[in-house]
Chains A and B, each alone.
Chain A
Amino acid sequence: MIETVNLTKKYGSFTALNDLNLSISDGTVFGFVGQNGAGKSTTFQILATLMAPTNGTAFVNGVDVTKDPEKVRKVIGYMPDFFGVYDQFKTEEYLDFYGASYGLSAREREEVIPQLLELVNLSNKRDSYVDLLSRGMKQRLCLARSLIHDPKVLILDEPASGLDPRARIEMREILKELKTMGKTIIISSHILPELAEMCDEIGVIDNGKLIATGTVSEIQLKLQQQKVIIVMVTRDMEKTIRFFEDDPDVINVQRGSNGSIQFGYKGSDEDQQMLIKKAVMADIPMLSFKQLETNLEDVFMEITKGVEEG
Chain B
Amino acid sequence: MKSTLINPVLNKEIRLRFRSSKSYIGIASYLGILGLISLGFIGLTLSYDYMGTFRPEESRSMFLLISMLQLALVIFITPGLTAGVISSERERQTLPILLTTAQSSTAIILSKLISSLSFLLLIVFATAPLYMIVFLYGGISPSNVVASFSLYAFAMLVIGSFGILASTIIRKTILAMVTTYSVAFFMTGGLAIITLMLTTFSYQFYNQGTDYIWPFLFASLNIPIMFFSVFEPSVMMEFQSMSGFGFSPWIIFFSFYSLFIVGCLIIAIRKLRPNMKIKSKS
B-binding residues in A (CB < 8 A): 8, 45, 48-57, 65-67, 69-70, 73-74, 76, 78, 80, 82-86, 88-89, 93, 96-98, 100-103, 105-106, 109-110, 142, 145, 149
- Is the C-beta of B94 less than 8 angstroms from some C-beta in chain A? yes
**Besides the contacts A52-B274, A70-B102, what 19 more A-B pairs have beta carbons closer than 8 Å?**
A8-B282, A49-B273, A49-B274, A49-B276, A50-B96, A55-B282, A65-B276, A69-B276, A73-B101, A83-B94, A84-B92, A88-B19, A93-B15, A98-B101, A100-B8, A100-B11, A105-B4, A106-B4, A142-B97
Question: Chain B residues near A52 (CB, 8 Å)?
Answer: 274-279
- Interface centre among B2, B20, B98, B273, by most A CB within 10 Å? B273
Shortest beta-carbon distance from A17 to chain B in Å = 13
Can you list 9 A-B contacts (CB < 8 A)? A66-B277, A66-B278, A70-B102, A73-B100, A89-B12, A101-B98, A102-B102, A103-B102, A105-B4
A109-B96 in contact (CB<8A) = no
Task: Evaluate contact between A106 and B93: CB separation under 8 angstroms.
Answer: no
Give min CB distance, B23 to chain A, whole Å: 11
Query: Across the interface, which residues of B come within 8 angstroms of A145, CB to CB?
Result: 97
- Taking a contact as CB atoms under 8 Å apart, the answer to whether B16 and A101 are in contact is no
Q: Which A residues are in CB contact (< 8 Å) with B143?
A: none
Neighbouring A residues of B98 by C-beta, 8 Å: 101
In the complex the two chains form, what is the Cα distance from A66 to B280 in whole Å?
A: 13
Give the docked Cα–Cα distance between A69 and B282 (Å).
Answer: 22
B183 contacts across to A, CB distance below 8 A:
none
Residues of B within 8 A of A56 (CB): 278
B103 at interface, CB cutoff 8 A = yes
Chain A residue nearest to B7 in the complex (CB): A100
Contact check, A86 vs B16: say whether CB atoms are below 8 A apart. yes
Contact partner of B1 (CB less than 8 A), chosen from A54, A88, A109, is A109
What is the bound-complex CA distance between A180 and B122, given in angstroms?
51
Return chain B residues, CB-CB under 8 Å to A76: 100
Contact B97 A78 (CB under 8 A): yes
Q: Chain B residues near A50 (CB, 8 Å)?
A: 96, 99-100, 273-274
CA distance A200 to B100 in the complex (A): 26
Which residues in chain B, 70-121, are within 8 Å of chain A measured between CB atoms? 92-94, 96-104
**B46 at interface (Cβ–Cβ under 8 A)?**
no
Q: Which residue of B lies closest to A82 (CB)?
A: B93
Contact check, A96 vs B1: say whether CB atoms are below 8 A apart. Answer: yes
Judged by a CB distance under 8 angstroms, whether B9 is at the interface is yes
Please determine whether A84 and B273 come into contact, CB atoms closer than 8 angstroms: no
A97 to B101, CA, bound (A): 11
Could you say which residues of chain B place their CB within 8 Å of the CB of A98? 97, 101
Known: A49-B273, A100-B11. A73 touches B4 (CB 8 A): no
